[in-house]
Structure 1
Amino acid sequence: MLRRTEAQRNFFDDAIFGRMIPPDHPLVAIDQAVDFSFIHDEVKALYSPDQGRPSYPPETLFRALVLGIWANLSDVQVAQQLRFNVLFRWFCRIGWDDPVPDDTTLVVFRRRLKASGVYERLLDRVVEQAKAKGLGRGRWMIVDGTKVVADVAIRNQLELVREGRKRLVRALQRIQPERAAKVRALAEPLPDADYPDREALLAAESACGEALLNELEDVPEPEVRRLAAQYRAILKGEGMASFTDPEARWGFQKKGEAFLGYKVVASCDEDGLVTAVTVAAGNESELAQVERLRAAWKRLRLRPRAVAADKAYDASTLRQQLQDEAVRIYTPRKYRRSTLPSGFRYEAKADRVICPAGAMGRPTPHPQGGFVYVFSQRTCQRCSLKAACLKDGRQRQRVYLQPDKDRTRPKGIRLAMRVRKVIERVFAEAKKWHHLGRARYRGRLGVAFQAVMTFLVINTKRMAAWSGVDRAWQGV
């Protein structure tokens, strides 16, 4: 049964908190700048109005989750701090004689937020408050992504193949011990010395895995079926790299730097107010997540005049979509600059390239976007200017152009790249002070919740600094 946070404290609580709470502490500034009461309306559908025991007030539990992100504490540590930390009790609206929620209560509350999808609205509510207070000019929207390493141990393919068999037998042991005893031999690793090389050993281990899957084909237990499906994905090499976090994938944030985990793609304005967040697997494109960010901008009625992003977002489709909404996008060129060789000219109306001798190149679509204008080999070989045009043993001239990008690419890229650094500072703050660089929870949904809560906390710090209450602690 849902219970609302008490609006007033008793005289004894006021006396204690009034003497012990430092007025210049950042949590005091956040409490004065942000109204967390919205959580009650957001979660009331998750509770029965008249059945069950009275719950802890959702605002109290939500404030406890905020403290976990703000101070980099686990659920157990937050529950421990609430028992003796006067400042934390005051922030969570827990009186001196009130019961303190334990870590299990916090876990259950967080699971409710994740399973219902309510957590996606929480960042919106904070952004709405910030905009109402005048924070964020909103002329720019900056988009970027950062990696979040999964909270798992790294396993190679051979280790995964062996681990999967053990997990399957253990799951079978819990429901059918006698049958598990019969197939237990298939879960044992093969002797490394019996095989000439690693490839032969891996093939033999995989064959044992296939045999075990065939033995368990008729087991109806959901847990066994789930593990069997994951194990098949491992044997087929379909990208799964961990049984602990099956949704984590290998990806690259930079060339040559692989990681196992997820990509958090976010947007913020030029004042560092984070407006939207989405999470993708490590091997997915950041560009594909922009549509969800744009949906959040529309939901919040944000109307940026320009978007700044790195070269991963240099795509003709996105550029055209934003242009249709009268929004300019500034990105460095993802591929090599399309330039005309000396003496060549491009006629936009006829969409053709003409060489110094007057011959015309035929346009062919390029997989990176734009066109390759190809000239006839017979014409080039007979041309008197071929010595100047054809170099490195080429038989005919080819000119690569991106007319659509060149027409819609606005000026001012240097200013835009300076503005783009704002989101890099936001990501640096999220990783240094709130440990966003590594997943606190497992699965895409867990990482999404962590990212939303992290940027929500960062926004509350911006609001406290903006209100003038937290000037001395603004960098904390």
Structure 2
Amino acid sequence: MMGRRRVPAGPEVWVVCREMIPAGSVFAFLAEHRRRLFPRETFADLYAPVNGRPSVPPGLLATVVVLQALQGLSDEEAVGALRFDLRWKAACGLGLYDQGFDPSLLTYFRRRLARSSEPDRIFGIVRAVVEQTGVLTGRTRRALDSAVLVDAVATQDTITQLIAAIRRVARQVPGASALIAAHCHAHDYTDPGKPKIAWDDEEAKNALVSGLVTDALALLDQLSGRHLDEAAEQAIGLLALIAGQDVEPADGSDGTDGRWRIARRTAPERIISTVDAEARHIHKSRQQRDDGYKAHLAVEPETGLFTAVALRPGAGAAHHESAVAPGLLAGEHGPLQVLADAAYAAVELRAALAAAGHRLLIKPPALKPAVIGGFTLDDFAIDTAGGTVTCPAGHTVPLAASGGRYQQRRATFTGLCAACPLRDRCTTAKTARVVTIRPHHQLQAAARHQAATDPAWQDDYRRWRPMVERAVAWLVTKGNRHLRYRGTAANDRWLHHRAAALNLRRLITLGLTYTSGTWNLAPITP
């Protein structure tokens, strides 16, 4: 049952301590407008109409969630602030002696939101305020970017993951404990600690890996064909992934003799922890390597407002910047000027955005010459319609289809490179230079030419692109680069709450007021 307005315990802080609450702050704004921002009916679908004991009013919980996301606090820290911080009490309409509520209510509230038809409604409420103010009217630029968010669990090595996955099967699958006791002997799986071996002994470590993989395969074989619930199926699927992603047959073995070793490679989209199976290794650049997720952002660069956000695992083609970007722009109306760095330069995304009528300020990736300081693809005259390629030395050869799923075409300068005076600047190949042309080549070439020669393009990119870095800094500051939750869904809810809180703070800075029944931006007195 949905709770109603709470009766303050003691004098209401906003009434008796108003002069102590910073004017123009989020706290003062919520004290004045909390009920308008989060009206009771907005959350009615989350609660049964009459059954049960009245809960804490959802408007109060939503206010705490916004302040919690803004200050980057845990549930216990947020309730602590609600009990002892006058600013929080004023913002939430509490009395001086009000003790707040149990921190678990925040968990239950987030679960109700997650299971509802509008899990991101708090972000949607603030977005509706943005639209009503008209602050984005006429502002048709959107900057796209992503930020690495570090996961809330420790990365596990292969041995730890194998043991943890088998232990999970024991917990989730009925009867699995007896099967493990009967068929799995490489480790005592009732012991939560690490195996007691000489960890600096490579042979001992290999023997342990072989035993753990053999146990995992034996357990999977014993459980195959069973009809199980979702949790049990997920535990078995996770064990199968762990047993296959990091190991390979030992030298001279095909795996049938039970000899395995840790693979000399990293599996694509490798699971890095059984505690959070959706977190991934992230290579944002050659220098930056982390574990966790990526926050994908669309920002109006002049105001710094987030127009859309999404959190995805940090690896995999389906979660790449270019794959997520169309969803970030899906709610926009009319052509935009889209600013983004080279991570968004995938030709499919560029073609789709260009077809939608957007003006693109997407930085094209630099071409890598075959010889340092030598010729790049743009130094060749490529006629995709006529099917020819002319090299810098003036030799022309035909383009031929190379086959394959990428529909590439190739031009091979066989017999023309050996005596060419420009060979040292063109290729290191023993035979001849090969030029590979991909679909939409003309589109990418035109983008590189525009970025290199168009002063207007360069001025706009230099002016507006840094603004999104400011928004990213707001997002991750004060410890908010480190996530507090496990799994994509829970962390995506946090990201939306964080963006909503930052948008609300930004609107207040811009002069947000409520007059004549609508949200407006009042002129700010210098």
TM over 0.5: same fold?
yes
Equivalent residue, structure 2, for 1:226: 234
Secondary structure of the residue aligned to 1:279 is: strand
Residues paired across the two proteins, number: 457
The amino acid that maps onto 2:63 is R
Q: Which has the larger displacement, 355-364 or 150-159?
A: 355-364
2:467 maps to what in 1?
Answer: 422
Q: Which runs of 5+ in 2 are unaligned?
A: 189-193, 246-266, 369-375, 514-523
For the structure 1 residues 160 and 15, does the alpha-carbon distance in structure 2 shift closer, same or farther, using more than 3 Å as the test? closer
Pick closer, same or farther for the CA change 1:84–1:395 going to 2, 3 Å: closer
Aligned-partner Cα distance in 1 for 2:242–2:82: 43
- AA aligned to 1:450 is W
CA distance in 2, matches of 1:124, 1:463: 15
User: Which segment is superposed worse, 255-264 or 454-463?
Assistant: 255-264
C-alpha contact 1:171 1:223 (8 A) present in aligned 2 = yes
Q: Secondary structure in 1 aligned to 2:120?
A: helix
Whether 1:319 and 2:350 are equivalent positions in the alignment is: yes
Hey, what's the Cα distance between the residues in 2 that align with 1:419 and 1:268? 11
CA distance in 1, matches of 2:359, 2:272: 39
Alignment of structure 1 residues 25-44 onto 2, 5 Å: 25-29=25-29, 37-38=37-38, 40-44=40-44
CA contact (8 A) 1:150 1:442 kept: yes
1:192-228: per-residue Cα shift (whole Å, max 9, x none)? 3597253343122211222344455559576544322
Q: How does 1:194-273 map to 2 (within 5 A)?
A: 196=203, 198-215=205-222, 220=228, 223-237=231-245, 239-270=270-301, 271-273=303-305
Q: In structure 1, which of residues 346, 356, 359 is the aligned counterpart of residue 396 of structure 2? A: 359
Within-5 A mapping of 1:130-169: 130-136=130-136, 138-169=139-170
Query: What's the CA shift string for 1:27-52, capped at 9, x where partnerless?
Result: 21465688763464443212122222
Q: Structure 1 CA distance, aligned partners of 2:70 and 2:417?
A: 70
User: Residues 88-124 of structure 1: CA distance to partner in whole angstroms, max 9, x if unpaired?
Assistant: 1221233457673211111100111123252323323
Aligned to 2:271, the other structure's residue is in SS state: coil
Determine if the alignment matches structure 1 residue 122 to structure 2 residue 153.
no
Alpha carbons 1:5, 1:93 under 8 Å: kept:
no
CA RMSD of aligned residues (A): 3.7
Are residues 1:438 and 2:482 paired?
Answer: yes
Q: Which has the higher helix share?
A: 1
Letter aligned with residue 278 of structure 1? A
Question: Is contact 2:389-2:411 (8 Å) kept?
Answer: no
Separation in structure 2 between the aligned mates of residue 177 and residue 236 of structure 1, nearest angstrom: 22
Cα distance, 1:357–1:329 mapped onto 2, change above 3 Å: closer
Which residue does the alignment assign to 1:192?
197
Which residue does the alignment assign to 2:363? 332
Mapped contact 1:34–1:460 kept (Cα < 8 A): no
Contact 1:142 1:423 in 2 (8 A): yes
* Matching residue's letter, 1:277: V
Deviates more, 1:163-172 or 1:359-368: 359-368
Q: CA deviation at 1:287?
A: 1.3
Instruction: Select the residue among 293, 296, 315 that pairs with 1:283.
Output: 315
Q: Provide Cα deviations, 1:135-182, integer angstroms capped at 9, x if missing partner.
A: 34532111111111111122110121123333444557x988877765
In the other structure, the counterpart of 1:457 is: 501
* Larger relative contact order, structure 1 or 2 (CA cutoff 8 Å, min sep 6): 1
Q: Please give the secondary structure, in 1, of the residue aligned with 2:234.
A: helix
Given the superposition, is the C-alpha separation of residues 117 and 351 from structure 1 closer, same or farther in structure 2, using an over 3 Å criterion?
farther
Q: Whole-Å Cα distance in 1 between the matches of residues 182 and 103 of structure 2?
A: 41
* CA distance, structure 1, for counterparts of residue 385 and residue 186 of structure 2: 69
Percentage identity across aligned positions?
22
- One-letter code aligned to 1:463: L
Deviation of 1:72 (Å): 2.3
Please, what TM-score do these two structures have when normalized by structure 1? 0.82
- 2:80 partner amino acid: Q
Q: For 1:377, give the aligned amino acid.
A: T
Q: Give the structure 1 partner of residue 443 of structure 2.
A: 404
Give, in whole Å, the separation in 1 of the partners of 2:30 and 2:202.
Answer: 63
